[in-house]
Structure 1
Amino acid sequence: MKKLAILICLSVVLTNCKKDKELELEEVTVEVAEPEVKEFGFNLNDFVVKKDTIRKGDSFGEILERNQIGYPKIFQIAEKAKDSFDISRQLQVGKPYTLLCSKDSLEQARCFIYQPNLEEYVVINFEDSIHAYTSRKPIKYVEKVATGVIEKGSGISVLMEKKGLSQKLAFKMADEIYAWTIDFRRLQEGDKFKVIYTDKYIDDSVYTGIHDIKAVYFEHKNEPFYAFEFETDSVKGIRDYFNEEAKNLRRAFLKAPVQFSRISSRYNLKRRIAYYGYKVRPHKGTDFAAPVGTPILATANGTVTESTRRGGNGKYVKIRHNATYSTQYLHMSRRAVKRGDYVKQGDVIGYVGMTGNTGGPHVCYRFWKNGRQVDPFKQKLPEAEPISDSLKARYLEFIKPIKTRLDSISFPDQPTITDNPDDNIIL
């Protein structure tokens, strides 16, 4: 509590026919509560708060030494905290940290808080005893609805930009949900959609993007296409999109490992290259040109069998999908998975680069069938796994209220018929 001294000056002169009376000055003290500022589970008003980011050459010890902590104490803190968080190895340049310091002339550090990502934070508290723990900021999911109609000479991405919606909505609908049923490069004037999706917020205020898409209705060439998200494997967290009849909208493999890319070189066992004197140099992969840093996606569910760097392949990842199929992704600038990881279709496994033998930024996509490299575009690839009979009845019951709600949403220039006040984004 802070004391606020308010000097109230009352200099009121009352005129009376018999005598004048002047009120004396009076000092009144009023106590005003300072509002709490809470973050990471602490009231920040109790400390001097110093926020910064890890810089090149910074170490935990150097940061604490700059804030009035001696090395014997630093060593003791590091030793007791290492079972929860190895501060000597896990601090990354560019990541934010917060120091809570004493409110005196020394401003001695009392607590170190490190944020490896937007959601998680690591607390190393040494104000009294030394203890360390990892926690998460509160997450809020807000369900929203959007509709749109394709205009002449336009496309889905242009529509999203025009209406201020995330391009992730377009990407997910085009490359994940309807990748095998609608060609989004050939949408027509009058095609329309309505989508129920969830936005994600951290600490109620930091928007981190679209969390997921719950349901979509897309009308293409006057033909309706429904899509409902449903979890088919709770252990592995596998979710797929099915239509109103419980048919899977996906195929086992995505068409390409990068979004909105172009094929710069196809699978060709008789390829001849001038640089090598026009000798036959078979190309057993398909090259997808894309800028350096473009995310590379796993084209199907599977287990990472290799994640390394070798010769002309550069940095690459190889995934075994089942006993029949494997895929490989070459020339990465950076790999995002390690051997043994289980990945789902559409997961980011690395980023486009120019490592190994390559004349420009691209990913060389290689495809194995029964241990032999083949052209994926000439294979009759399997359908995605259908929903099991045991789950089908549950799925159909699950989508009933969602479909009813989706059908009640009107397109632009019509009022929306819905009981949910959050369904408020009609484009």
Structure 2
Amino acid sequence: MKKRWISASAMVFALAGGFYWLGDNFSLGAADETEIIFEEEFEEEEELFYGINIKELDVIEGVVGKNQTLSTILAPFNVPYQIIDEIARKSIDIFDVKKIAFNKKFIVLTPKDSSQAQFFIYEPNPVEYVVFKLDEVEVYKEEKPIELRHVEIGGVITKNLYTNMVDLGVNVGLIDKFADLFGWNVDFMSTPPGDKFKVVFKEKVVDGNVVGFTDIEAAFFEHKGQEYHAIPFTQNGELTFFDQNGNSFKKAFLRHPLEYSRISSRFNLNRFHPVQKVYKPHLGTDYAAKTGTEIRTIGDGTVVEARFTSANGNYVKIKHNGTYTTQYLHMSKIASGIKPGTRVKQGQVIGFVGSTGLATGPHLCFRFWKNGQQVDWLKEEIPPSDPISPENRLAFEQVKLEKMQQIAAIPLTEKPDKLVAEN
């Protein structure tokens, strides 16, 4: 807050007849010229950068070099080592400075009359930033404003769902959600040219760059002439997707234990084993993926085995109920906390793709038991969750009409463009 003094001259007249205004300051019939002083308070205009007023500061931007640490970054800015050490210890619960990573953006703010850094700002990701206030040894984390941008995309399969969606600018994570949604209705490993897709969602935008997305708001897939509409509706306190007939898309199990990925070898009772060099039943479904890819349990259940054997490598076995059990083989490692007796939820990460045991390369061998007998997972029919209840039918029909009209209005394109409708 600053103060400014303003002076003004005013001619003040006292009227004849003995009137006195504010005491005896003005004489009868006199014409006095008086200087009046006004005191005005005003806010100095700020220039905010990461929420900090930089009007009196110099801004130095950079990126973390190889093997750089907080100490080596701040060394050229005359920050005493004891302050660096103190702020590193003080910040551990907010942001561990050991996690400062190569090629990440940072900003140093110094007073205009000094070369010693007053602030150090680090961006661990496009949304968050950490402020180190060096003169007061204070650390805090903030988020940049996120803009939600409404997006509607429609396309035709010419190669496969993944390639065509990526060509239209769809985030890979959203493609995985789309594939999970329709996975029990469509085999995305073998979609023919001419199949159609549409999806409505919101992009999260920071500084003009897309950094994520919200949940799918409506979706559509046409497979070999069969249309599937995914209509979101809240029933029994849970938001679930239903088809145009009111049947739930949700089932007790996810369709695949990996996010949308290529199946390299299907269930085969007479497969030539690539390691043992003999023909023998292959009682699982193989999913090719890079080492370290997250493996998720397809359903709720209890871990009954989590260990290593020479044939299976690192593996986890989960009992879901009295009918179904699943097993996940050849992991590079088992996820932390996964051990016999652990309760797991559908979609929870239980391990990571590897090539331990009898495996020639990184992949997941997934096995599925029904009533104690291994069966072909890809041919199993799993019953869905409850359909729209009679008391919710009218409300659902209203939502369905709105969403189907929205989907119908989305044009189909094979070009790498997308239709963006601003809210």
TM over 0.5: yes
Question: Are residues 1:137 and 2:144 paired?
Answer: yes
Partner deviation per Cα, 1:227-271 (whole Å, 9 max, x = no partner): 02346687xxx7542113331124332343343423437476x98
SS in structure 1 of the partner of residue 99 of structure 2:
coil
Equivalences, count: 368
For the structure 1 residues 189 and 290, does the alpha-carbon distance in structure 2 shift closer, same or farther, using more than 3 Å as the test? closer
Pick from 57, 80, 95: which aligns with 2:90?
A: 80
Q: Secondary structure at the match of 2:399?
A: helix
Shift of 1:201: 1.3
CA distance in 2: counterparts of 1:304 and 1:114, whole angstroms: 41
1:119/1:387 CA distance change after superposition, 3 Å: farther
**Quick one: percent identity of the two aligned structures?**
31
What TM-score do the two structures reach when normalised by structure 2? 0.67
The structure, 1 or 2, with the larger RCO (C-alpha pairs under 8 Å, 6+ apart) is 2
Structure 1 position 53, deviation (Å): 2.2
Paired position in structure 1 for 2:62: 51
Residues 208 and 356 of structure 1: is their aligned pair in 2 closer, same or farther, counting only changes over 3 Å?
farther
- Checking the alignment, whether the CA contact within 8 Å between 1:334 and 1:350 is kept in structure 2 is yes
1:131 to 1:233, Cα distance in 2 relative to 1, 3 A: farther
The amino acid across from 1:262 in the alignment is: I
2:245 match: 245
What aligned pairs does 1:263-412 form with structure 2 within 5 A after superposition? Answer: 263-264=264-265, 266=267, 285-292=284-291, 295-302=293-300, 305=303, 310=308, 312=310, 313-314=312-313, 321=320, 325-333=324-332, 338-339=337-338, 343-345=345-347, 351-367=352-368, 374-377=374-377, 380=380, 382-386=382-386, 389=389, 392=392, 396=396, 399-400=399-400, 402-403=402-403, 405-406=405-406, 409=409, 411-412=411-412
Q: Tell me how far 1:336 sits from its aligned partner.
A: 6.7
Alpha-carbon distance in 2 for matches of 1:131, 1:305: 44
Amino acid at match of 1:180: W
For 1:211, the equivalent position in structure 2 comes to: 214
Q: Contact (CA 8 Å) 2:263, 2:287: kept in 1 or not?
A: yes
- Deviation string, structure 1 residues 130-189 (Cα, Å, up to 9, x no partner): 3222222222221121223456xx55445445555556665543x212212233455556
Corresponding letter in the other structure for 2:354:
G
The one-letter amino acid paired with 2:421 is: D
- Kindly indicate whether the alpha-carbon contact (under 8 Å) linking 1:265 and 1:286 is maintained by their aligned counterparts in 2: yes
Q: Go from structure 1 to structure 2 and tell me whether the alpha carbon gap of 1:226 and 1:49 turns closer, same or farther (over 3 Å shift).
A: same
Q: Which runs of 5+ in 1 are unaligned?
A: 1-32, 414-420
1:71 has 2:98 as partner = no
Q: Distance between the aligned counterparts of 2:285 and 2:138, measured in 1?
A: 53
1:136–1:373 CA distance, 2 compared to 1 (3 A): farther
Separation in 1 of the partners of 2:177 and 2:222? 16
C-alpha contact 1:97 1:112 (8 A) present in aligned 2: no
Backbone CA RMSD of aligned residues: 4.5
TM-score (norm 1): 0.67
- 1:248/1:314 Cα in 2 relative to 1: closer, same or farther (>3 Å)? same
Which residue among 96, 116, 136 is the counterpart of 2:124? 116
Distance 1:199 1:84, change over 3 A: closer
Q: What's the counterpart of residue 70 of structure 2? A: 60
Structure 2: distance between partners of 1:200 and 1:349: 28
Corresponding residue of 2:263: 262
Higher alpha-carbon Rg: 2
Which residue is equivalent to 1:418? none
Aligned equivalent of 2:202: 198
**SS across alignment from 1:194:** strand
The alpha-carbon distance between structure 1 residues 38 and 101, as it changes in their structure 2 partners (threshold 3 A), is closer
Separation (CA, whole Å) in 2 of partners of 1:397 and 1:206:
37
Match of 1:23 in 2: none
> Which residue number in structure 1 is paired with residue 41 of structure 2?
none
* Structure 2: distance between partners of 1:226 and 1:277: 46
The 1:137–1:384 alpha-carbon spacing in structure 2 relative to 1, beyond 3 Å, is farther
